[in-house]
Amino acid sequence: MTDGEKTQRLANVVLDENSIAPRGPDVEHERRIAIFDLLEENSFDPVGVPPGPYALRLSVQENRLVFEISREEDGRTYATHVLSLTPLKRVIRDYFVVCDSYFKAIRSASPSQIEAIDMGRRGLHDEGSQALMERLKGKIDVDHDTARRLFTLICALHVKV
């Protein structure tokens, strides 16, 4: 690793296939983009874990979100954080409703209608990102952009809310 290479970051993200509910090509596309964007630029600093870069395995088990963190260097799991999804359920549900409206609108609505729906979608995305940052506080330090991309991936797991 070079001196300038950032170590407190994610280098790999895996979504548990058993946790992913089928949602169609639009959501699948958004999931791939979110993973790509997340790996391109992120700030991910798990508390009490040796310097990374890290690999993250995200899954949902019994209505709980599981963050399994390992180091890319040795593959050993260093931390597992299990978070209740209850505090995120409403915003995830609302986000999916608005996303469904958005994906329908981009096929037939006027630009101003699409923009209005997209503003609502972005607002819910920000709300979900903030809620996620609060849930991760003291466990994993992330910046706003990383939280947004993680929220997209959590939605991609499509928790049955």
Task: Quick: pLDDT tens for 127-150.
Answer: 999 999 999 999 999 999 999 999
User: pLDDT per residue over 86-113, tens digit each?
Assistant: 999 999 999 989 988 988 898 999 999 9
Q: Which two tokens stand for residue 61?
A: 């088990």
- At 75 the pLDDT is 87
User: pLDDT per residue over 4-31, tens digit each?
Assistant: 458 899 999 998 877 766 666 766 777 7
Say if residue 160's pLDDT is above 80.
no
Q: Which two tokens stand for residue 153?
A: 């991936």
- At 140 the pLDDT is 97
What whole-number distance in Å separates Cα of residue 157 and Cα of residue 85? Answer: 12
The mean pLDDT value for 68-89 works out to 92
If you ran DSSP here, which 8-state letter would residue 74 be given? T
Burial class (CB in 10 A: 0-12, 13-18, 19+), 94: middle
Triad 79, 140, 90: Cα angle to 5° = 110
Helix ranges (H only) for 4-63 are 25-40
- At 34 the pLDDT is 82
Say if residue 51's pLDDT is above 60.
yes
Say if residue 38's pLDDT is above 50.
yes
User: Residue with structure tokens 């990374």?
Assistant: 52
- Which residue(s) pair with 82 in the sheet? 66
Closest-CA residue to 83 (of 74, 75, 92): 92
Percent of the chain clearing pLDDT 90 (strictly above): 57
